[in-house]
Amino acid sequence: MIKGSLAEFLINELNRKNMERIKFHSPNGFIFTNTYLIIIVIGILFFGCSFFIKNASLNTIILSIGSTILTLGISLPIAVFQQNKHSSAHFKILKTCDESGICSIFISRKKDSDELRKAIEIEAHHCDREIRLLGIAFPDLINPNTSHTQNIEDKLSNPKIDLKILLLNPESDAAKRRQKIETNNTTIKDIKYTIEKNIQAYIIRRINNLNVHFPNEYESLIKHKDNKSFINLLKDAIGLEVHLYDNDPIMQQLDFDNSMFVEQYHLGRPQQHVLPFGCIGKNVPVLQYKKNSIAYDFYKSHFEYLWSHSSNSTEELIQSSWDLVNQ
């Protein structure tokens, strides 16, 4: 017990006080520190005192303590070297992530769903300007029937939070290729359902929330309902836009005011990880990037490029949703 406690204490003290002076490539970095010299001197003192103590029992105790301390003095440089070598590799990974703008890494949407859900909820809570969503279909996120956390649900339905949705065009060749890769033959169906049902449901919610929470603005808007520009005015009022891109999808993005969640799309289907008719998504890490980072700027630019080279379906969807509201 003495040996274990003393070793643990010394290693902790070493890491706290002398980390900057330790050379990871060799145990010698520790041998010439004050901590090491103190250990050796104490061990020698106990060991030497044992020769002058005549009481056999006390002599044995002192000799044991001295031997233990000297053993620690010999073994600690090696132990500390191994510990710091191991820690150094981890610190390098953490430093690289921080310098790259990565603030969180999630194993996958499948394996880390609860933690990812909490992180997205936190970002949604602090988001009061704009949400950008880039993906294939978002059958779960853009779905009013899914059990969302409160902040996500509120922000998706809030007409004062700009919401830009960029989905794969279900009529594109890229969608057909994706469906073939997924092998479940529901990719195109899922995209169409998101567009025609789920997005429409959120447009209606935003219109209703505009009426309930901003009645003066809503009444002013309604005065123009017979004008040709009404749908454009309504679009600006509810802050929702939808575009469809034709490129092969390479990533999913959930972009909030302060950070962005990114998952790479791929064409791989390793048999040991994906069932023959299972979805290949949700299996790779999701990275959360800080807004003030180079990586974030590149991903944002990727969204903007697709947005400017995609078809705008906003007016058509708002028109059909408005027709439902007035039935």
Q: What is the pLDDT of residues 280-326, one digit of tens each?
A: 888 899 999 999 999 999 999 999 999 999 999 999 999 999 999 98
Same domain, 79 and 95: yes
Same domain, 229 and 304: yes
Q: How far is the C-alpha of 309 from the C-alpha of 279, rounded, in Å? A: 27
Same domain, 168 and 230: yes
Same domain, 66 and 167: no
Question: Residue 242 has which token pair?
Answer: 């939808």
Domains contained in the chain, number: 2
| DSSP assignment string, 115-181 | HHHHHHHHHHHT--SEEEEESS--TTTS-TTS---HHHHHHHH-TTSEEEEEEE-TTSHHHHHHHHH
Same domain, 185 and 286: yes
Q: What is the pLDDT of residues 211-247, one digit of tens each?
A: 999 999 999 999 999 898 999 999 999 999 999 999 9
Nearest to 249 by CA among 115, 98, 133: 133
> Which of 66, 100, 134 delimits the end of a domain?
100
Same domain, 93 and 127: no
pLDDT for position 25: 45
> Which of 61, 80, 100 delimits the end of a domain?
100
Q: Which residues contact 40 (CB under 8 A, 6 or more apart)?
A: 70, 73
Same domain, 131 and 229: yes
Same domain, 173 and 196: yes
Cα 75 from chain centre: 41
Average pLDDT estimate for 142-158: 84
Any idea what the Cα angle at residue 205 is, between residues 201 and 210, rounded to 5°?
A: 150
> Which of 100, 115, 137 delimits the end of a domain?
100
Enter the DSSP assignment of 26: -
Query: pLDDT tier at 46 (50, 70, 90 boundaries)?
Result: confident
**Model confidence at 201: pLDDT above 90:** yes
Give the CATH number, domain containing residue 198: 3.30.870.10
Same domain, 212 and 286: yes
pLDDT for position 3: 44
- 287: β partners: 105, 262
Q: How far is the C-alpha of 311 from the C-alpha of 244, rounded, in Å? A: 5
Of residues 2 and 171, more confidently modeled = 171
**Model confidence at 75: pLDDT above 50:** yes
Q: How far is the C-alpha of 163 from the C-alpha of 160, rounded, in Å? A: 9
Same domain, 13 and 138: no
**Model confidence at 159: pLDDT above 80:** yes
The residue segments making up the domain with residue 131 are 102-325
Instruction: Report the amino acid identity of residue 159.
Output: P
Average pLDDT estimate for 137-165: 88
Any idea what the Cα angle at residue 233 is, between residues 246 and 171, rounded to 5°?
A: 15
Same domain, 77 and 111: no
Same domain, 96 and 112: no
Instruction: Report the amino acid identity of residue 76.
Output: L
